Amino acid sequence: MTDFPKTPEIIPSLFAADPLHYCEALKAVERFGCRRIHLDIMDGHFVPNISFGASVVAAVAKECPQLFREVHLMVQNPQQHFEAFIKKSGAQRLFIHIELAPEVLEETVRCLQSKAVDWGFAVNPETPLETLQVYKGWISNTQHLLLMSVHPGFCGQTFIEETYERIKELRECFPHLKLCIDGGIRTLEAQRLHELGVESVVMGSAFFKKVSV
């Protein structure tokens, strides 16, 4: 097995694995020494694709309880799913999208703040970073931001180069945030992100092609 040299922490995305062999994929994640697993939840509305639900997250928790479970909610009404993901599936960190309708986002954040769960915002590539200033108060209450480097919904996309400049801008505006970059990341991108001080990257297709599943 080949190592990924000088990269941020790698968080494999289970969505990129063969759905008929999730158990084998999770074993490969463990063999590689990863501490976290990324679980993409898509409803076919917020993004044009459907993935899996809370039952898969619960199965991961049962099969690999030592893996920290990050759940990326790409759904229109995330607050309606908190009961399933927090209490029943064992999600340990939730990411919600800043692009949600303002009234939905406000309700979602209020609900999250009342739950005993870690959480952060996710930001799409086309969203101006100035949008985050509108929600600066909320952002000051979380440590995590998931910055998308592809348009969410599908695996195998090409990394958007403008992401590097967005990272620099985020570092200036929100230095307290721990950045996780998600989408189209291969070894070369991961190395450059490491140079920019990015703490972690979500790696899907490139990870499962590189490790032995």
Is residue 14 within 8 A of residue 46, CB to CB? The reply is no
Strands 68-74 and 178-182: unpaired
Residues contacting 170, CB < 8 A, separation 6+: 129, 132, 145, 147, 177, 179
Q: What does DSSP assign to residue 80? A: G
Active centre residues (catalytic): 40, 182
CA-based nearest residue to 147, from 208, 205, 193, 100: 193
- The CA distance from 154 to 106, in Å, is 27
46, 74 Cβ separation under 8 angstroms: yes
- 4 in helix, strand or coil? coil
Report the amino acid identity of residue 164. Y
CA atoms within 13 A on the CB side of 69: 26
Contact 82, 111 (CB under 8 A): yes
The span from the CA of 177 to the CA of 170, in Å, is: 8
